Structure 1
Amino acid sequence: MIFKDLSDFLGAHFIYTYDNGWEYEWYAKNSHTVDYRIHGGMVAGRWVTDQEAHIVKLTDGVFKVTWTEPTGTDVALDFMPNENKMHGVIFFPKWVEEHPEITVCYQNEHINLMEEARAKYDNYPKYIVPEFAKITYIGKAGLDNEEVISEAPYKGMTDDIRAGKYFNGDYKRIGK
């Protein structure tokens, strides 16, 4: 699969591992929305759907995605899928660094909790995590596929996805 334009990038599903060992799964759901699951790192177990994001093509085959979460966390990701590389910068509020367990949930069902924690605890100084990552999986899930990120992460999930044990050929969940 060769990426050139946004039409190649949108609908793509990625698994990547940052150089610090944190593993993430991420889906370009459409031109303005992303879904993701976090499989490793300080907020492993967290998952989010329908996160509003800004998605642009920087140049042929290079894409930037940015958003701000209800937690106050800012994210900027640069995807270079043709090289299986990615660079991300995550700007965690101080409260997330000190209380990451509050965010380990399906965020969409706990927006009020995220907003309460953001108001209750310190937001600054931000904990900034700039890391390169290796893309270990790329799938073409298509636009607005609600089955891509539809359940909490479990141990071995990314291995199941990479091994073809999670999605069928139509990118539907196997055994669901």
Structure 2
Amino acid sequence: MSAFDKDDLSGFIGKHLVYTYDNGWNYEIYVKNSQTLDYRIHSGLVGNRWVKGQRAYIVRVGESIYKISWTEPTGTDVSLIANLGDKLFHGTIFFPRWVINNPEKTVCFQNDHIPLMESYREVGPAYPTEVIDEFATITFVRDCGPDDDSVIACAASELPADFPNNLI
């Protein structure tokens, strides 16, 4: 029997996290509610891409450990583990081949281009899939409460130079 309530997501919902993968890629995520997240990519293969209202599976797997998984309209599959106690992330991203071949096609505010992303996905190619499996360090955490559309509201390129320190 678990020493924690696996159905209790209250320690995760509303969290705004910035994290840097060991490969140097910088990401940001906001856990909007129990089924939705917003995210912004600061650097890496698809740096400056951002998404709001991404449906996701969010579960608690430990005292302060959560898992988030989703499939994007691009065909990219993502699974993240956030260990808030140790400020550690682990991400596995399954990129379809078309994203690896042409990452610039996805660098946008995805919500304005979902039919286009789906058409790219359908054309492919999907395989061979590129798997990115990396640890990351959580560099910033704040509580914003649930369903706050202002947390992630622009591309990374539009943020102040001192982000996220400007939020302190």
TM-score of the pair, normalised by structure 1: 0.88
Distance 1:72 1:86 in 2: 22
Q: Is 2:153 aligned against 1:150?
A: yes
Q: Deviations over 1:21-54 (max 9, x none)?
A: 0000100000000000000101001000000000
> Which among 108, 118, 121 is matched to residue 121 of structure 2?
118
Matched residues, number: 162
Cα drift, residue 62 of structure 1: 0.6
Distance 2:87 2:160 in 1: 20
Does structure 1 retain, via aligned residues, the 8 Å contact 2:55–2:70? yes
Cα drift, residue 104 of structure 1: 0.2
The corresponding residue for 2:77 is 74
Distance 1:156 1:46 in 2: 13
Q: Is 2:14 aligned against 1:44?
A: no
The corresponding residue for 1:9 is 12
**Which structure 1 residue ranges, 5 or more long, are not aligned?**
166-176
Distance 1:159 1:90 in 2: 28
The corresponding residue for 1:132 is 135
Percent of aligned positions that are identical: 49
Q: CA RMSD in A?
A: 1.5
Cα drift, residue 163 of structure 1: 3.5
Does structure 2 retain, via aligned residues, the 8 Å contact 1:66–1:75? yes
Q: Is 2:148 aligned against 1:160?
A: no
The corresponding residue for 2:64 is 61
> Which among 21, 33, 38 is matched to residue 18 of structure 1?
21
TM-score of the pair, normalised by structure 2: 0.92
Does structure 2 retain, via aligned residues, the 8 Å contact 1:15–1:158? no
Does structure 2 retain, via aligned residues, the 8 Å contact 1:12–1:28? yes
Give, as a single letter, the amino acid of the residue that structure 1 aligns with 2:80.
L
Cα drift, residue 160 of structure 1: 2.1
The corresponding residue for 1:96 is 99
Distance 1:69 1:164 in 2: 28
Cα drift, residue 120 of structure 1: 1.4
Cα drift, residue 82 of structure 1: 1.2
Give, as a single letter, the amino acid of the residue that structure 2 aligns with 1:28.
V
**Which structure 2 residue ranges, 5 or more long, are not aligned?**
none
Cα drift, residue 132 of structure 1: 0.1
Does structure 1 retain, via aligned residues, the 8 Å contact 2:17–2:29? yes
Distance 1:51 1:111 in 2: 11
Distance 1:106 1:87 in 2: 24
Does structure 2 retain, via aligned residues, the 8 Å contact 1:71–1:118? yes
Distance 2:161 2:129 in 1: 29
* Secondary structure in structure 1 of the residue aligned to 2:80: strand
Does structure 1 retain, via aligned residues, the 8 Å contact 2:67–2:80? yes
Relative distance call for 1:157 and 1:125 in structure 2 (3 A) is: farther
